[in-house]
């Protein structure tokens, strides 16, 4: 049982949907980013997705690209991202942290070393965008063995034939990508997402969380209502990009979390 | 070389799209079903005579293949050593080898019912080739090109527009080929249903590296036959320039099992291959990593962040290299060297002066290496170099580098 499994067990007992928020580690700088992160659980965030900056984020739209650029310009690295998790864990032992990013920084560090460091720092799960099931031996299977959840993306192009492959070796939850496209793009529609979530849930007992294209408390509520929860990333990162004070960013996060929790 | 491991160097990739440890399918889930479908369609087309008949017809009547194999007599005399042949792929329609591959992918796209073609381009040669074939078949074409390249390759941007393509300048990153490829992938992930991504080099997720190689292998097949006709034997050394590595893979592939043929790939050494990393020599100055769908040698920092390379040649300005080259490098079947901007400029002028051929800056790198080694080789040593593109697109860059004022021209 990871913190992720514990969190979903608690939410299920409460009859509440999960709210997951994404921020980029080190955006716009280490201290601000850590301050936002520390405030997320208080703003109602159930699971934190922490973006690992990468120079070439091929699945991300301009908002997340620029956030990664700001972080890298400020000297952010994988090592400092792990340090941020350690700093966060000093004051919070329960909120699950999912590291989300691309494979090369992890591969560059060495998979075994990375997994040991991630465990030690207090990371609970991984979402690695450019590792489909076909490449499970790279990181997914070693991560599961190391006790970390490997959370897979399912997308509108993941048809019924392919779904079992995507669900095998997935743990923690399934992240359903609501649109074909990049982060921060088109708006998600609950009427399209609902049947897709049902299709996935018919094949797995894992919670299904929906992300991409959710920007407002209303959408947060509508999408969470047809799934086990929702993820917001670009909309929060945009607030940080505008240079808003940490309290304002967290107030916005709270409005989104309240939306999801109303569902 | 581990002879006991391999009876042939031409059997790769394996079913996972790997050449040894390199290659693979490192893409997001949204793209994965498309890649698998493409692989299926390509596997079918590969053994379909009607597919290759269509290719052959267009290669002959539209591209102008076979391209000549030309004995560069004055260049040979000037260098005073090995006998130098040039494979004249710069004489192809659109001025480079790129169209060999584009035709194959567009025929495939048509068979798959795709109506919109996207491509990335660096020097603009792949973009022009894609725009050309799209115009010929009446397909919508969108080309992603780094903003820096849009500026330094203005003639090709205009060509693409004349051919009806939409050219999208990419401002993310440093605005070169790598960034163009990122944005092309973002487009593809957004427009999965109707769009075919026509990759211009032997990189990207499986099956692209193998498919592009197979389409470019016509270069080596012809060169082999032409060399037998001209000399009655195979060349001793074959040489080609490498950015992603498609013209090189096209020349090399048919020769891989001819173990007496020495194979040399020439990377862009930019301002010199050293710790300043102002070059694009992935094999001689990089290390293995994962980018753009495949594992290969990459220019990267110690944190695994991808570095922006530098080359005077926009077509070589890419921090990675095709995975099959990475494999050939590791097993030692091919040798990889680098040539600086300055050496390439010298070779550019050498080709103009001795042979009346204005080469692209990309093959100028290969020629610079030929000029380095030929003088010390015996006169019966035969070198075959791929002249993969013509230099019309580069005259402004070269003029600037040589201090010519073209403003009044």
B28, B192, B303 member nearest A130 (Cβ): B28
Q: Which of A27, A46, A60, A136 is catalytic?
A: A60
Check whether B154 has a pLDDT greater than 90: no
Residues in chain A within 8 Å Cβ distance of B29: 132, 152-155, 157-158, 166, 177
Interface of A with B in 168-227 (CB under 8 A): 177, 180-182, 185
Q: Nearest-CA residue of chain B relative to A103?
A: B290
- Using CA atoms, how far residue B103 sits from A30, A182, B100, B131, B335, in Å, is 49, 29, 6, 11, 30
The answer, yes or no, to whether the previous bond of B66 is cis (omega within 30 of 0) is: yes
* Angstrom distance (rounded) from CA B54 to CA B111: 12
Spatial strand order in the sheet of B116-121: B166-170, B140-146, B116-121, B195-197
Interface of A with B in 145-164 (CB under 8 A): 152-159, 162
B29, B289, B302 member nearest A104 (Cβ): B289
Compute the Cα dihedral for B205, B206, B208, B210 and give only its sign. positive
Taking only the tens place, the pLDDT of each residue in B125-147 is: 999 999 999 999 999 999 999 99
Token pair 């700001």: residue:
A70
Task: Compute the mean pLDDT over every residue in chain B, rounded to the nearest whole number.
Answer: 94
Q: What is the CA radius of gyration of chain B?
A: 20
CB-based contact A107 B304, cutoff 8 Å: yes
A120 assigned to active site: no
In contact, B291 and B24? CB cutoff 8 Å = no
B31, B189, B289 member nearest A108 (Cβ): B289
What domains can you pick out in chain A, each with its CATH number? 3-262 (3.20.20.70)
> What is the rounded average pLDDT of the residues B245-257?
98
To the nearest 10°, report the CA torsion of A119, A123, A125, A126. Answer: -90
Size of chain B in residues: 409
A58, A78, A177 member nearest B182 (Cβ): A58
Neighbours of A161 (CB within 10 A): 9
> What is the rounded average pLDDT of the residues B361-375?
98
Check whether B4 has a pLDDT greater than 80: no
* Angstrom distance (rounded) from CA A233 to CA A212: 8
Bridge partners for B337 per DSSP:
B266
Taking only the tens place, the pLDDT of each residue in B38-80 is: 999 999 999 999 999 999 999 999 999 999 999 999 999 999 9
- Residue to mutate among B295, B304, B320, B323, with most A CBs inside 10 A, is B304
A46 assigned to active site: no
User: What's the whole-model pTM score?
Assistant: 0.96
Nearest residue to B130 (alpha-carbon basis) of B153, B107, B152, B113: B107
Q: Is B360 on the interface with A (CB under 8 A)?
A: no
Q: Is B1 on the interface with A (CB under 8 A)?
A: no
Q: Nearest-CA residue of chain A relative to B174?
A: A55
SS3 B365: helix
Helix A246-262 / helix A217-225 crossing angle, nearest 10 deg: 30
Check whether B409 has a pLDDT greater than 70: no
Q: Which of A5, A27, A46, A49 is catalytic?
A: A49
In this prediction, does ipTM exceed 0.90?
yes
DSSP, res A43: G
Identify the H or E element spanning B186.
Answer: helix B177-190
SS3 B391: coil
Taking only the tens place, the pLDDT of each residue in B79-103 is: 999 999 999 999 999 999 999 999 9
- pLDDT digit string (tens) for chain A, length 263 residues: 899 999 999 999 999 999 999 999 999 999 999 999 999 999 999 999 999 999 999 999 999 999 999 999 999 999 999 999 999 999 999 999 999 999 999 999 999 999 999 999 999 999 999 999 999 999 999 999 999 999 999 999 999 999 999 999 999 999 999 988 888 877 888 899 999 999 999 999 999 999 999 999 999 999 999 999 999 999 999 999 999 999 999 999 999 999 999 99
């Amino acid at each position: 049982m990871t913190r992720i499994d514990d969190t979903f067990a608690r939410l299920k007992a409460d009859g509440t949907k999960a709210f997951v928020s994404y921020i980029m580690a080190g955006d716009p700088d280490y201290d601000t980013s850590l301050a936002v992160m520390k405030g997320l659980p208080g703003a109602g965030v159930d699971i934190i997705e922490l973006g690992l900056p990468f120079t070439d984020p091929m699945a991300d739209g301009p908002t997340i690209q620029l956030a990664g650029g700001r972080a890298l310009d400020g000297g952010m690295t994988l090592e400092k991202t792990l340090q941020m998790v350690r700093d966060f864990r000093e004051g919070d032992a329960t909120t699950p942290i999912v590291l989300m990013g691309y494979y090369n920084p992890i591969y560059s560090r060495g998979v075994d070393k990375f997994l040991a460091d991630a465990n030690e720092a207090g990371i609970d799960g991984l979402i690695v965008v450019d590792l489909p099931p076909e490449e499970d031996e790279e990181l997914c299977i070693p991560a599961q063995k190391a006790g970390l959840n490997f959370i897979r993306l399912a997308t509108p192009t993941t048809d019924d034939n392919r779904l079992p492959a995507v669900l095998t070796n997935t743990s923690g939850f399934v992240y359903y990508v609501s649109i074909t496209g990049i982060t921060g793009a088109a708006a998600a529609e609950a009427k399209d997402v609902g049947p897709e979530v049902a299709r996935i849930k018919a094949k797995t007992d894992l919670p299904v969380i929906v992300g991409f294209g959710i920007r407002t408390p209303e959408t947060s509520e509508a999408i969470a209502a047809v799934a086990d929860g929702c993820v917001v990333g670009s909309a929060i990162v945009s607030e940080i990009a505008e240079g808003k004070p940490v309290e304002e960013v967290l107030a916005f996060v709270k409005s989104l979390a309240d939306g999801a929790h109303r569902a | 070389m581990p002879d006991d491991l391999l009876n042939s160097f031409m059997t790769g990739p394996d079913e996972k799209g790997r050449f040894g440890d390199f290659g693979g399918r490192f893409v997001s889930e949204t793209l994965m079903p498309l890649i698998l479908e493409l692989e299926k369609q390509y596997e079918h087309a590969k053994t379909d005579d009607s597919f290759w008949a269509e290719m052959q017809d267009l290669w002959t009547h539209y591209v102008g293949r076979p391209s000549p194999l030309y004995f560069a007599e004055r260049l040979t005399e000037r260098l005073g050593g090995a006998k130098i042949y040039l494979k004249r792929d710069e004489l192809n329609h659109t001025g480079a080898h790129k169209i060999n591959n584009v035709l194959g992918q567009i025929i495939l796209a048509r068979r798959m019912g795709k109506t919109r073609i996207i491509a990335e381009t660096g020097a603009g040669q792949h973009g022009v080739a894609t725009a050309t074939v799209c115009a010929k078949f009446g397909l919508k074409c969108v080309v992603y090109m780094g903003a820096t390249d849009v500026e330094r390759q203005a003639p090709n941007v205009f060509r693409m527009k004349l051919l009806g393509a939409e050219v999208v300048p990419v401002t993310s990153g440093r605005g070169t080929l790598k960034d163009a490829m990122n944005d092309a992938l973002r487009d593809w992930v957004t427009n999965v249903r109707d769009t075919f991504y026509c990759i211009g080099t032997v990189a990207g997720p499986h099956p692209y590296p193998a498919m592009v190689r197979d389409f470019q292998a016509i270069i080596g097949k012809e060169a082999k036959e032409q060399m037998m006709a001209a000399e009655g034997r195979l060349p001793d050394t074959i040489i080609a320039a490498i950015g992603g590595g498609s013209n090189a893979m096209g020349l090399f592939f048919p020769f891989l099992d001819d173990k007496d043929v020495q194979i040399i790939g020439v990377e862009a050494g930019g301002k010199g291959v050293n710790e300043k990393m102002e070059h694009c020599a992935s094999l001689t100055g990089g290390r293995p990593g994962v980018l753009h769908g495949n594992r290969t040698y990459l220019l990267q920092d110690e944190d695994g962040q991808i570095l922006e390379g530098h080359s005077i040649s926009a077509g070589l300005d890419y921090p990675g290299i095709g995975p099959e080259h990475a494999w050939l490098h590791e097993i030692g079947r091919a040798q990889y060297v680098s040539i600086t901007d300055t050496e390439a400029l010298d070779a550019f002028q050498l080709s103009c002066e001795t042979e009346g051929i204005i080469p692209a800056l990309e093959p100028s790198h290969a020629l610079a290496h030929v000029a380095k080694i030929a003088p010390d080789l015996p006169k019966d040593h035969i070198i075959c170099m791929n002249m993969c593109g013509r230099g019309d697109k580069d005259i402004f860059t070269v003029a600037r580098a040589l201090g010519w004022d073209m403003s009044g021209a």
